[in-house]
Amino acid sequence: MVTNHHNYKISKILLSMGFVIVAYMIYTLTNSVYTSYLLDRHIDSFKNKNEEITAEYQSNLDDLNYFESDAYAEKIAKEQFGLIRPGEEVIVLLDEEVVSETEVSIKEADSIKKYRRLSTPGKWWYYFFEI
pLDDT tens digit string along 37-64? 999 999 999 999 999 999 999 999 999 9
Over 80: is that where the pLDDT of 17 sits? yes
Tell me: do 21 and 61 sit in the same domain. yes
72 and 9 fall within a common domain: yes
Whether residues 98 and 131 fall in one domain = yes
Of residues 102 and 73, more confidently modeled: 73
Q: Do 69 and 76 form a contact (C-beta atoms < 8 A)?
A: no
> 67: pLDDT confidence band, cut at 50, 70 and 90?
very high
pLDDT of residue 116: 76
Entry pTM:
0.47
Same domain, 19 and 47: yes
- For the stretch 83-102, what's the b/e string if a residue is b when 16 or more beta carbons lie within 10 angstroms of its beta carbon? eeeeeeeeeeeeeeeeeeee
Same domain, 80 and 110: no
Full domain range(s) for residue 68: 2-85
